[in-house]
Each structure stands twice: as structure tokens, then as C-alpha cells.
Structure 1
């Protein structure tokens, strides 16, 4: 028999949607707005970095970043994000969600500015400094994942919890969109302000000295949205679930939530102490009991996030290369450096506006109706279909008459990534694990995702670039590396579909019901703990 729910937690579960819900979404969501801006804006300036720092004097060809340097610049922030997710996820369960929340935001602000101030006398020194600061930027971004998800899940009511957590994550779409729009504005401004006769006479490889400011300004602007929400993050009270179930302070939990919900809540210290005394409620992450209860769940959340991010970050970070391969972005030799930034930013903004952002908000609208499992399964299935539809007849899509069709199909993969596993992999780990391990398990799941992103960022860059070069030398058509990349991504998405069957459905259930903490309060022995149906998420 399930134990009786604490009044303070029950009040949160059944609370009507109120202003504090939207405040929490905005405060947590602005962190994700910043995360997305900082992680994805680098893809718009990497070609500019090559023109500025790797142009060979006297050569008519624009400079390009060597593959290893390009992979490092694109991927080092992901390495930092992985480390930050593990560290801050663990710290969030040890010190509390609120105490760690401001630290991650401060780190993001400082390192965004520092990235734009990267210095050095030689190109390698500038790239090394940039990579150093972007690693620590990623470290701060990593902490935002488990903390934002956990805070929102523990504040939300069970009826609309999925939509609230997904809305926080949906701010990532606006961050990607903002990065593209700002790059368009800043490149347009510089192109108009510093237009020189040399641009009309010989645009090949031309790079104005002021182009060095463009990438620095784009990177530094990422500090602004994070800074404006710092005060409000510090004003948020600690979540009642952490205070009551982990810190064991029923009085403080009741006091904090009484102010938030504008109602009187009974202090149930005796019940909290009873929870603390139950051996079944104190198992650790590496215990057999955790493995029995949540082992398959953790495998499901880590594997699906890992596979999703291989595909998702490969597409985002290197879509400029794909668009160049099919001719949607003109060859670099036909544009000056500033115009190239504009063209890349315009293409990525169009994709974000037409597919990425709508996909996120379809999830927000439907996740508490369709359920997490159905949306994730649908997303992986459609991504698999569209990847193979692009890869198998690849030569058809590279024909000038069919490029619009390629862009439409490619955009649909982004739509179903976001109306699918890119959102649900973020939501579910914040709902199905015990409060004392929730942030840690979400951090592990998210870190697994970033490991996939690193595989995508480093592995697929080499696959696309080096195979294209090798095949071109052997006389094969251009773009064969991109085609092979799309085939591999299609297989990855299909594997994600299969692993989705390990993930439980949490729609309409309280956090304690999903984690089994209600059963712990009843004092049932280990043999009386709930068994979960991974597909339906029901408690037997």
C-alpha cells in the first residue's frame, strides 16, 4: 500500500497553474536560451575563423580551419558540458538545487565574455585560448541541464508537469534563433559599414580587418541573457521536495511553499522523520536496490539521449557544410568573409524558425496529452525515415532543381527531433528517479547525451571532410562523405527508437509515485516495492 503523500508535496501536485509556474519557466528557461546561443553560435563563425587566422598570404583561396582545429573549436564546449552535467548534477543533490544554480549562471557569463576576448600572437594561440574558455563555458552550461530540469519538475503540478519542463527546454529553440538573427544583423552592419572597393574588384578570399570583431561580438553577447536572470535565480526558494525529502526540514518546506502557493500548509516533521528512518528510502546510486528499481530506466534515459545527440548535434553544428555540399550556400570564393557569415546565419535561422522552434512548442502543447513515450517513439521513427530519404537518393537532392526539396526534408528531421526525443530525453529523467538522486541521474543522462554530441562533433566532421577529400581524389562525386554521414545518422536514430522501449511513461503521475518514494513511506519491505512496466510506466 502506498504511503500517504506529504501535504506540501500534494499541494504542489494538485495546484492550479499560477504565476509562479510561468516565473519558474522564464527564470530556468533563460538559462537554456543562453545555453543554446552559446553552444550553437560557434558554428556560424568557424568559417570566418578560418578566413582570418588560416589564410595563406598570396593564395587566391579563402583560408579554412584544419579539420582537427575545427573539431576542437566546435566540440570543446561539449566536453565541458559533459563534465559540468556530471559534477553539478551530483552537487545539486548534495547541496541543494538553489545553492548551485547561481554558480552555473555566473560561470556562463564570465566565460562567454572571455571567449570573445581570446588572445594570442599566433593563430594556434588564439584557437587554444578560445578552446580553453569555451570548455569552461560548457562546464557552466552543463550544470544548467540537471538543475533547471529538476527545479521545474519539483515546482510543477502533475497534470501539466511535462509541458512546464518542456517549455524550459523549448527556450533552447529561441536561443538558436536569436544566435542566427544576431549574426545576420552584425554581419549586415559590418558589411555595409566597411565595404571597400576591393570587394567589388576581387571578392576571392577578401577579409576586412574588422571581421575579427564579428566573431568576438557574437560570442560575447551570449553573456547578456544569463546575466539579466541572475538576481531572480537567487530569489527563488529551494524546492520543497529537496527541503522535505533530502534535507528533512519539513518546517522550511512548508514555509517556502506557503509563500509560493499563497496558502497555509501543515508542518509534518514527524512524517518526514519517518521517511528518513526507512532503509528502503536510503539506497544509493551504486546499490543493488537502485539497480533493481531504476537500472533499466537509467539505461533507457542514457542510451536514448546518447543516440539522439549524435544525430542532433551533428546536424546543428555542421549543417553549414551540408548546405554548402548541396549548393544552398554558395562557394566561399564567391563571397567575402562577412557575407559568408551572413549566408550561413540566414540558412540556420530559417531552419530554426521553420522547424526547430515549432517542434519544441508542439511538444509543449501535446506532451501531457500524448505522453512522453509516444512522442519520443514518433520522433525517432520520423527522423530515421527522413535521414534515409535524404541519404539513399543523395545525388538526386544535390541537383540544382531539387535543393529546395532537400532543405524541406532536412528541416523536417529537426522538427521531429524537437517534437520528439530532443525534448522528451530532457523531461523524463527529471521525473522518474528519487528526489535525493534526481539531479545526479539527470546529470548522468544528460552527460551521456553530450558524449553522443562529442561523437557527432568530432567523428562526423572527419567522416564528411576526409571522406569527401579521399573520394574526390579518387574521382567519386562530391559530397559522398555527407551521404555516408546521413546513412549512419539514420541507423543511429533507429537504434534510439529501439531503446525508447526501456523508458517508462510518467504522464499524470506524481514524482513520488514514479520513483516509488510513496511506497517507501508506508514501510513496505523490499519485496513490496513497485514494479514498473517500462513501456506504459504503470505501477503494478
Structure 2
């Protein structure tokens, strides 16, 4: 069959109010995703000071390395599983049917994370990790579904900007996590006595501190709950309804109801399309290199990106931007970590996302990803080579270059690795393949969480637990991240440019239609020839 008229109408549709509504509805899911994932670095030191305080030493407590890695990384494990499961389910049941499941899971798990219970430190951390796994599972489902829905709603001319705008809400979520951390810690800070704490070390961790981390984590349920109703009101995407479910009439009705245009369900030919399966030989012939490119680039990007975010508080301490834990109370430390994260997000992370939104349909995905990996590598090396000098004599220059790595991550591969998998693959595999690509990224994030949280530690563990860091481990970690970004630069050449092409052109579905039509004509001609021959024989 030929390309359906409804799909052509979507590709040519003018930008309308409903497009912006879809961006907000899908984007609030990503706002919640980022808030939930990046609020945990704000409270990990507080958790250590509350539950692992040692009265014999009188020094601020800290999470053991294995507990720290688990608290930071367990949500990423859940995210990986959710991306694979919900990505597959989105192609089987439809995008809309699955979309609400992920959101409700995020709401319930965010609330439960803040209510983590137990009689011992180990039991509280175990409960917290359990709920954060399921929080990550819901977050994981949001990746392939939001990207696929937005790509299938958008027109060809502005598709990149629309998908990038959804993903840009991640930056706003990171900024909000820092802002909520500042507000909550400021509210409870009045209960904390002023330094010094050497008279009564317990005074640096008042009872109210336990409410701080719980309130910060539970706030993640608010934006998700606020958009649930609107998510359920969204119609199924026309491309799923027409190409996967095979109901062109319903697809036209759905799009006519939300777009200010009349869409006709017209099919110019009715030959049955011959479809190949996921991971079949034909799939790998057509899309094997594409899937390798999207998975490898996202994997390498997330090793660097999540590592940077998870140990940024250690970097700030190493260069003296954050005081050591022993010089401030537990709640004051939350405030200063939150403020540092907010400043970095406001000055580099958020602008990087929105520069991508404005430029991606002008200069293309490939160039943005390539230059992003390139400059991330350059600035990582710029931090590593003169590391000791910058740390001691030019901490401001260090922080500026560190911020620029976040800017070019977001005006670069952190945005494009999310966008391109939603464009390259056929509709019947789109959500699954995006989920696979995203899961590869989260595998990289898990390596960053579990691996680099160890690598960034000072060899003098006692000093680390006291809040000090010589930064030797951080320097080595930054060097490895620079090499990781360089590998991402070269893997980018596996991914084609997708700018200003329809989804059917990119996925090869138009070619499938043409091939099926040709095969149908050949079969019809053969049948006609056979009938003619049989007719001739009967006359004889």
C-alpha cells in the first residue's frame, strides 16, 4: 500500500497549539524523570550523616561506598529494565495505552521513596533502594513512549525541535531539583544551631533533617500527578493506528479532532505489505548499523553525563567551591549542594538544551552530536591536564570549563541520542528500538554510577568520609571520561542525518510499500498469464 494520506497530512501540517500541548504533556514526564534521578545526589551526604554517624569519632558520617553506589544507581537499573519492557509494550499495545502506566508508577514510587522505613540504617537504605528501583522502572518507560509519541505527532519541518523541547524539560527538572533542595533545606535550617559543632557533634544532624530528604524525594510525585489526566486524553498516534493497527479511518478521525485540518483516510493501493520481523536478517540489513550507532553513542554519552552529575558535589568540594562536611551542618550542606547544582543547571545545562531546540532543524542532528562529543572531550582534557594547577590557583576557571562540558553535552549528544532513535526505525519497531537504544545508555549510566563513584574517591578514605578529597581519583575519572567522549565522536559516524526527512523515508517504509506493490503487480501478472494459458488449453 502507498503512504497513507493521513501521514502525508501530518508531515505537512502547520505548527498548531496542539503541538505545544503535546510538548508540555510529554515534557512534564521528562521533567519528573530528571527531578527524580538528579535529586538523589543532593541528599546522599545527608543520608550518610543521619544514618551512619559515628559518635566515637565525632565526625560527620557518610554512606559506605557500596551503599552510596546502590542508592545512586538502583534507579538507573530500574530505568534500564523499564525502557526495554515499556518500549516493547508500546509497539504491542499502542503508545497511549502504556503511557498512563508509567506515570502512575512514577507517582506511587516517588511518594513511597520518601516514606522509606526501617529500624536500622541498613533497612532504611534497602527500602529506599527498593522503591527507587520501581521509580526508575516507570521513568524508563517514559523515554521510548514520549520520544515516539512526539516524533509521530510532529511535522517534518519542526520535528527535531519538538522532540528536543520534550527532552529539554529534563534540564528544567534538574534545575527544579536544586531549587526544591534549597527551599526545603532553608525551611528546616532554622532548627540547626550555629557552628562550631565540636561541642556537640550530634547537633549538626537534628531530628528535622530526616524530613528534608523525604520531602525532596516526595515532591517528584507532584508534576507527574498533575499531568496524568491530560495524558489520558491524548489520542493514539496516527502512525501507530494506521501503520501498526491498520485502521486508517480511525487515524484520520483522531488527527482531525486535534489538528485544525480535515484529514482524509485515502489509500491509493491496497496490496498487502510484506513485513520483516524485529532482529530478522532483513532488519539487520536495513537497520543493523543504525541500531549499533544509536546504542553505542547513547552508551558512551551516559557513561560521561551521569558520572559528571553524580559526583559533581565531590568536584565542587575538591576545588573548594563547597566547604568540607565538617565545617557545616547537615541541612546547610544540603542547601549548598542544591545551590551549586542549580547554578550549574541554570548557567550551562538548561541553555544547552534550548540551544539545541532552536538550532537542530537548521544545522541537523549529525553536526550537533559531533561537535558536542568533540567539545566535551576538549574540555575534559582541559580539566585533567592542568588539574592540580587549576584546583589550587584557578578554581573559577576549573568550574567554568566543567560547566561547559554540561553545556556541550546538552547542546550535543545528550539531546540527539534521544531524538534520532525516534526517527530512524519503522513504526512497528520504533518504540522498541528507542527503548533498546535508551537502555544501552542507562547501562553506561550504571557503569558511571557504580564505577566512577568508586573511581572518584580519594585513596584516603578517612578524609573522604570526613568530607575532604584530594581529588586524585577525580582527576583519573575525568581522564577516562575524556576518552569515553572521544569514542562517542567516532561512533557518531554510524548514525545518518535525519533532518527534514519524513519518518517513512527514514525508516524505509516507503521502500517496503513500493516493493510490496511491485511484488503484487508481478503476482497479478503471473496469475493473469496463467489464466490465459489455461483458457487457451481449454479451447484447444
The match for 1:464 among 451, 456, 467 is 456
Q: Equivalent residue of 1:62, what SS?
A: coil
Matched-pair contact (CA < 8 Å) for 1:203–1:333: no
**Structure 1 stretch displaced more, 513-522 or 61-70:** 513-522
**Correspondence list, 1:494-509, <5 A:** 494-509=486-501
Larger Rg: 2
Residue in 2 that maps onto 1:535: none
Residue in 2 that maps onto 1:385: 378
Give the Cα–Cα distance (whole angstroms) in 2 for the partners of residues 471 and 353 of structure 1: 31
Length, aligned pairs only? 514
The match for 1:267 among 265, 268, 284 is 265
Give the Cα–Cα distance (whole angstroms) in 1 for the partners of residues 517 and 14 of structure 2: 35
The match for 1:304 among 286, 297, 301 is 297
Matched-pair contact (CA < 8 Å) for 1:314–1:453: yes
Residue in 1 that maps onto 2:426: 434
Matched-pair contact (CA < 8 Å) for 2:152–2:238: yes
Tell me whether 1:318 sits opposite 2:311 in the alignment.
yes
| Deviations, residues 419-448 of structure 1 (Å, cap 9, x unaligned) | 000000000000010000000000000000
Matched-pair contact (CA < 8 Å) for 1:204–1:333: no
Give the Cα–Cα distance (whole angstroms) in 1 for the partners of residues 397 and 142 of structure 2: 37
The match for 1:64 among 37, 62, 65 is 62
Give the Cα–Cα distance (whole angstroms) in 1 for the partners of residues 192 and 124 of structure 2: 26
**Correspondence list, 1:471-490, <5 A:** 478-490=470-482
Q: Which runs of 5+ in 1 are unaligned?
A: 528-540
Distance change in 2, residues 1:203/1:396 (3 Å): farther
Q: Which runs of 5+ in 2 are unaligned?
A: 520-540
Give the Cα–Cα distance (whole angstroms) in 2 for the partners of residues 486 and 470 of structure 1: 22
Matched-pair contact (CA < 8 Å) for 1:119–1:129: yes
Deviation at 1:509, TM superposition (A): 0.2
Deviation at 1:267, TM superposition (A): 2.2
Tell me whether 1:418 sits opposite 2:383 in the alignment.
no
Q: Equivalent residue of 2:499, what SS?
A: coil
Give the Cα–Cα distance (whole angstroms) in 1 for the partners of residues 427 and 284 of structure 2: 16
Residue in 2 that maps onto 1:518: 510
Give the Cα–Cα distance (whole angstroms) in 1 for the partners of residues 52 and 123 of structure 2: 12
Q: Equivalent residue of 1:520, what SS?
A: helix
Give the Cα–Cα distance (whole angstroms) in 1 for the partners of residues 240 and 206 of structure 2: 54
Deviation at 1:469, TM superposition (A): 4.1
Tell me whether 1:342 sits opposite 2:335 in the alignment.
yes
Q: Equivalent residue of 1:75, what SS?
A: helix
Matched-pair contact (CA < 8 Å) for 2:3–2:267: no
The match for 1:278 among 269, 273, 279 is 273
Deviation at 1:58, TM superposition (A): 3.4
TM-score w.r.t. structure 1 length?
Answer: 0.93
Deviation at 1:115, TM superposition (A): 0.1
TM-score w.r.t. structure 2 length?
Answer: 0.93
Give the Cα–Cα distance (whole angstroms) in 2 for the partners of residues 488 and 326 of structure 1: 19
**Structure 1 stretch displaced more, 460-469 or 180-189:** 460-469
Give the Cα–Cα distance (whole angstroms) in 1 for the partners of residues 462 and 210 of structure 2: 32
The match for 1:448 among 435, 440, 446 is 440
Deviation at 1:464, TM superposition (A): 1.4
Give the Cα–Cα distance (whole angstroms) in 2 for the partners of residues 267 and 360 of structure 1: 37
Give the Cα–Cα distance (whole angstroms) in 1 for the partners of residues 185 and 194 of structure 2: 18
Distance change in 2, residues 1:321/1:526 (3 Å): farther
**Correspondence list, 1:52-91, <5 A:** 52-91=50-89
Matched-pair contact (CA < 8 Å) for 2:160–2:357: yes
Q: Equivalent residue of 2:456, what SS?
A: helix
Deviation at 1:286, TM superposition (A): 1.3
